[in-house]
Structure 1
Amino acid sequence: MSFTIYGAAGSGSVPVEAAMTLIGLDYRVIEAVTWEGEAERDKVAIVNPMRQIPALVLPSGETITESAAILIWLADAYPQARLGPMLDDPRRAQFLRWMSFIPASIYSMFWVRDEPSRLAGDDAAAQAELKQRTLERIADCWRVMDSQITPGRFLLGEELSVLDLYVAVASRWTPRRARFTAEAPRMAEVVRRVDDLPALRDFWTERFPFEDEP
């Protein structure tokens, strides 16, 4: 039996899809571009009452939501893929730290940015200010993470992990790669390696093509 993931190209489902591709899992994607309106969000409601992506339906019928939770689960459930440190690995604490930091401090900003009226009402000036402040917040969080992490070939050392996939995707969102590279130069070297992974070349082309990168 296969997995089903509710997601969209260029979205938070992409690192999950990338992980499943590397593991070799059979999965299908139900496209739900939730930032484009209620009809798209309604597609997800059947599995996630928050109407947000990603949502992963396991072969058993169980649903997992939240990108970080899904990625950690995949790494733990398929240890042979070596996509995350196990419980007895000394890297585990920092793995969990940064896997939590990204959704809490960075990904959460996009709930505001996608529809600033949620917090700013109909005031156009307030909406613009909110978007600028969230942009700066995201950039500052990348800077802080870069100052606290010591990458090897990948973020946790010499082995690729789902953390690398997560950062490689999230770093392409606002304020985009040029600002990310300026704020997080050490991590930028890592994400370029992830971009160039032969095993994901076709995947990136399909799910998050690089042609429109500034």
Structure 2
Amino acid sequence: MAEPFIVYGASASGSVPIEATLTLLNLPYRVEEHAPWEGKQEANRLARINPLRQVPALALPTGELMTESAAILIWLADAYPDGRLAPGVTDPARPAFLRWMTFVSAAIYALYWIDDPSRIVEREEDHAAVKARLFERIAHCWARMGAELRPGRYLLGDDVSVLDLYVATASRWSPGRRRFYEVAAGLAETVRRVDADPRLATLWAERFPFTPGWER
């Protein structure tokens, strides 16, 4: 039996699309729970894996460690091309794939570091305004993506890709899926299709459940 991948992550976090990718690829993996937002002790425990104290990280069967969610997703899709989870290097859709994977990572995901406003502003009375502007910026970025993409069954055509898994997860974070539907209505059907994929039903239930009112 092949050595399993090890996912360092947490429920509802950026490790979920990686877990979804491993699930669709039918690759063995296990999850080590690390939620650095739960306190200094937990963050320090994660530091031995990722000095930035962030998840996700992925230990490959070779022992090599990868961080950065977009890099991990692209690598998995490219390393296991039979899974058809990314356009190949010569595929006409490849430039768009790389563009939007990087866009989600850099323009949207990276902003969640400021989800704790004390990291950039000291006065507690300013925190609500920081979060409001942060979430408006995220909504603006989703709108930009929605304005430029013309999905088929999935974001890049007829085949599900790691980009779909990435967006389906990240679009559930603040300001929430309802706001996502408002600003990027053209992407709504696609992410709902990923939500409903029967191959991922168990994963969603365990790692990012669709609890009542989840769409906010």
The counterpart of 2:79, out of the listed 74, 77, 80, is 77
What SS does the aligned partner of 1:108 have? helix
Task: Name the residue aligned to 1:147.
Answer: 147
- 1:91 corresponds to which residue? 93
Shift of 1:87: 0.5
**Ranges in structure 1 where 5+ consecutive residues have no aligned partner:** none
- Once the two structures are superposed, the pairs formed by residues 29-40 of structure 1 within 5 Å of their partners are 29-40=31-42
Partner residue in 2 for 1:50 = 52
Offset at residue 180 of structure 1 (A) = 0.5
Displacement of 1:51 = 1.1
The aligned residue for residue 158 of structure 2 is 158
Question: 1:205 matched to which residue of 2?
Answer: 205
Is 2:101 the counterpart of 1:102?
no
- What's the CA shift string for 1:29-48, capped at 9, x where partnerless? 11011111222222322221
Cα distance, 1:2 vs. partner?
Answer: 0.9
SS in structure 2 at match of 1:30: strand
Q: d(CA) in 2 for partners of 1:40 and 1:164?
A: 30
Larger displacement relative to structure 2 (30-39 or 176-185): 30-39
Give the letter for the 2:118 counterpart. S
The AA in structure 1 aligned to 2:42 is E
Question: How many residues of Structure 1 are paired with residues of Structure 2 in the alignment?
Answer: 212
Give TM-score scaled by structure 1 length. 0.97
- Unmatched runs of 5 consecutive residues or more in structure 2: none
Give the % identical residues: 55
4+ runs deviating over 6 angstroms = none
2:6 is matched with which residue: 4, 7, 30?
4
Q: Aligned equivalents of 2:141 and 2:129: distance in 1?
A: 18
TM-score by length of 2: 0.96
Give the counterpart letter for 1:118 in structure 2.
R
